[in-house]
């Protein structure tokens, strides 16, 4: 993982070489910090823990944006702070925990299985994270995975979109959703309605400014438009075999469901 850099005075981002996965740290009061999606190999988390120590920061809260294995990892080096997630995220992790641990062992071996997905559900009525730091708004949606959440930090003008609005990935739909396209479009509209965003941080890809957020929203809508018409294979983000296979799976999904409305 590359060393963390400041997006704002209070928001740091590091990027793993594996899947171009981002980890975000938000600095709170008295040296406390919030860690969002610590990724993704044990070495990555070791780099994160070392940087936090070097900066005099201690983890007082964590957050998992969604239930996929690479977003529910942890290490004893990060301490025992509560790791929050939406209720639907927690339920999905518990249901598929054994599969998630198996995939993590295949893709990034060496993680402590006892710490995998040990998440604390937020109350269903919660709209912000309970921690001593800048207000962090939780924007729950169902794009990509159950209980997916974007995070908005108004004081920092930052929007974390997790596994949506990426500059390097097409929209990745949830194959188990009844209308995955509608779910994804809902999330895009949710993001577009957030005012005064100056920094967008995706779960995979690069940090962008406010104009880039809206460019990515438009690009994702355009991909979904083409997908609904049986196309989408010319999207410039289709640069890797796994993304091409995901696109083909989307086309198959639309032929077998009522999605695409």
Within 10 angstroms of residue 228's Cβ, the number of other Cβ atoms is 15
pLDDT bucket at 124, cuts 50 / 70 / 90 = confident
**Mean pLDDT calculated for residue range 146-173:** 98
Give me the pLDDT at residue 3, please. 80
Going by the DSSP 8-state scheme, the letter that residue 257 receives in this structure is S
What pLDDT digit, counting tens, does each position of 79-109 carry? 999 999 999 999 999 999 999 999 999 999 9
Give the tokens for residue 122.
Answer: 């937020």
Q: Are 111 and 77 in contact (CB under 8 A)?
A: no
What pLDDT digit, counting tens, does each position of 197-207 carry? 999 999 999 99
What pLDDT digit, counting tens, does each position of 166-189 carry? 999 999 999 999 999 999 999 999
CA atoms within 13 A on the CB side of 82: 11
User: Quick one: what percent of the chain has pLDDT higher than 70?
Assistant: 98
pLDDT at residue 228 above 50? yes
Give me the pLDDT at residue 260, please. 43
Give me the pLDDT at residue 2, please. 74
pLDDT bucket at 261, cuts 50 / 70 / 90 = very low
Residue 217 CA: distances (Å) to CA of 6, 186, 211, 221, 239: 24, 11, 10, 6, 19
The pLDDT mean for the chain works out to 96
Angle ∠(242,184,153) on CA atoms, nearest 5: 105
Q: Are 68 and 145 in contact (CB under 8 A)?
A: yes
Rounded Cα gap, residues 203 and 150, in angstroms: 10
Give the tokens for residue 67.
Answer: 């239930």
């Amino acid at each position: 993982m590359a060393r963390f850099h400041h997006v704002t005075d209070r928001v740091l981002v590091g990027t793993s070489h594996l899947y171009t996965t981002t980890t975000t740290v938000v600095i709170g009061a008295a040296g406390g910090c919030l860690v969002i999606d610590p990724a993704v190999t044990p070495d990555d988390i070791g780099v994160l823990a070392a940087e936090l120590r070097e900066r005099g920061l201690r983890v007082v809260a964590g957050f998992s944006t969604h239930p996929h294995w690479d977003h529910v990892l942890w290490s004893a080096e990060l301490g025992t702070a509560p790791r929050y997630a939406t209720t639907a995220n927690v339920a999905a992790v518990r249901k598929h925990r054994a599969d998630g641990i198996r995939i993590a062992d295949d893709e990034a071996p060496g993680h402590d299985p006892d710490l995998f997905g040990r998440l604390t559900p937020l109350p269903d009525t919660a709209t912000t994270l309970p921690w001593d730091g800048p207000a962090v708004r939780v924007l729950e949606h169902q794009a990509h995975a159950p209980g997916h959440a974007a995070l908005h930090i108004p004081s920092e003008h930052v929007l974390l979109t997790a596994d949506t609005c990426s500059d390097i990935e097409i929209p990745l739909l949830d194959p188990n959703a009844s209308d995955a396209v509608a779910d994804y479009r809902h999330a895009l509209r949710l993001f577009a309605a957030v005012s005064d965003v100056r920094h967008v941080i995706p779960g995979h890809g690069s940090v962008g400014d406010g104009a880039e957020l809206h460019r990515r929203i438009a690009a994702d809508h355009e991909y979904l438009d083409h997908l609904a018409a049986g196309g989408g294979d010319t999207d410039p983000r289709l640069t890797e075999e796994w993304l091409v296979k995901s696109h083909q799976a989307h086309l198959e999904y639309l032929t077998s469901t009522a999605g695409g409305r």
